[in-house]
Amino acid sequence: MESGYLETEPARAEVDGLAGPALLEFGSPYCGHCRRAQPLIAQALAAHPRVRHLKVADASGRRLGRSYKVTLWPTLVLLADGREVGRLVRPLQVAEIERALAEIDPG
Domain that holds residue 35: 12-104
Q: How many CA atoms lie within 13 A of 15 on its CB side?
A: 22
CATH number at residue 83: 3.40.30.10
pLDDT tens-digit map of 26-62: 999 999 999 999 999 999 999 999 999 999 999 988 9
7 domain-assigned: no
Q: Exposed (0-12), middle (13-18) or buried (19+): which is 8, by Cβ within 10 Å? A: exposed
Mean pLDDT (the chain) is 94
Instruction: Flag whether 21 is in a domain.
Output: yes
Specify if 3 maps to a domain: no
Is 56 within 8 Å of 26 (Cβ atoms)? yes
Q: Is residue 63 part of a domain?
A: yes
Helix (H) or strand (E) holding 89: strand 83-89
Domains contained in the chain, number: 1
